[in-house]
Amino acid sequence: MDRRDLLTIGEVARRSGLAPSALRYYEARGLITSTRTAGDRRRYARAVLRRVAVIRAAQRVGLTLDDVGAAFADVPAEAAPTRVQWARMSARWRPVIDQRIADLEKVRAELDGCIGCGCLSLQRCRLYNPDDVLADEGSGSRRLFPDVPDVPDVSDEQP
Ligand code: FES
């Protein structure tokens, strides 16, 4: 590749509208790659602009960088996705986006019940305490943060 075809990080930043720090982050995540000059300066192939466009489009619809990384798995590191690869990626993302929309619609419906309320009741508010994992244990049994594991009951232990 002719070195004049390579872009500096500043040029990629200017053309993509992203901060150089974001480009370095994408590179650290393996989503884009660069070569280095003798002076250790980054140089990007022009295809990086299309890769960055795909990353930004994915983020815009709420996908994670892990989602993008998985989608880029079958795209050579210095290449932009082909039309066929992009079509495959976007088709794979469609159900993920549909699920996000369904989740947000559920949150919106729960939020409707909170408008003008402000109680933040652990018993009544589905938005405040959506995963009432202890509900089967009777009234008042709620866990606000379901990812926190059970604390062992040590009350019967001998000293
Ligand atoms: S704040 Fe009262 S129901 Fe959500």
Give yes or no for a contact between 134 and 141, defined as CB atoms under 8 angstroms apart.
Answer: yes
128: which residues sit within 8 A by CB, 6+ positions away? 114, 120, 121, 122, 144
The mean pLDDT value for 37-53 works out to 94
Evaluate whether 65 touches 23 at the Cβ level (below 8 Å): no
Q: Quick one: 103 and 130 in the same domain?
A: no
Distance of CA 128 from the midpoint of ligand 1 (Å): 7
Q: Chain-wide mean pLDDT for the chain? A: 83
Q: Is 42 helix (H, G, I), strand (E, B) or coil?
A: strand
User: Are 98 and 129 in the same domain?
Assistant: no
In the block, tokens 């938005």 appear at 127
| Residue 91 sits in the same domain as residue 130 | no
Residue 158 located in a structural domain = no
Position 43 in a domain:
yes
130 in ligand 1 pocket by Cβ < 6 Å?
no
Q: Which residue reads 């018993």 in tokens?
A: 123
Q: Is the CB of 122 under 6 A from ligand 1?
A: no
Assigned domain for 22 exists: yes
Tell me which of 141 and 75 has the higher pLDDT. 75
Question: How is residue 133 written in tokens?
Answer: 């994992």
Whether 136 maps to a domain, the answer reads yes
Q: Is 11 in the same domain as 87? A: yes
One domain for residues 134 and 77 = no
Counting from 1 in the atom list of ligand 1, the atom nearest the Cα of 127 is: 4
Q: Measure the CA–CA gap between 33 and 86, rounded to whole angstroms.
A: 19
Q: Is the CB of 53 under 6 A from ligand 1?
A: no
**25 class by beta-carbon count within 10 Å (0-12 exposed, 13-18 middle, 19+ buried):** middle
37 pLDDT band, cuts 50/70/90, is: very high
Assess whether 73 and 124 both reside in one domain. Answer: no
What is the domain range of residue 58? 3-112
Residues 75 and 7 in one domain: yes
CB-neighbour burial class of residue 158 (10 A; exposed 0-12, middle 13-18, buried 19+): exposed
Instruction: Verify that 69 and 8 share a domain, yes or no.
Output: yes
- Mutation choice for ligand 1 from 110, 119, 122, CB with most ligand atoms inside 8 A: 119
CATH (domain of 62) = 1.10.1660.10
Q: What is the mean pLDDT of residues 76-105?
A: 90
Q: What is the CA radius of gyration of the chain?
A: 24
Number of domains in the chain: 2
State if residue 116 touches ligand 1 by the CB under 6 angstroms criterion. no
Count CA atoms closer than 13 A to 35's CA, side-chain side. 11
Does residue 153 lie within any of the structural domains? no
C-beta 120 within 6 A of ligand 1: yes
Q: Is the same domain home to 140 and 93?
A: no
Residue 145: predicted pLDDT: 58
Confirm whether 155 is domain-assigned: no
Q: Are residues 141 and 68 both part of a single domain? A: no
Q: For position 13, what pLDDT does the model report?
A: 95
Residues in the chain, how many?
A: 159
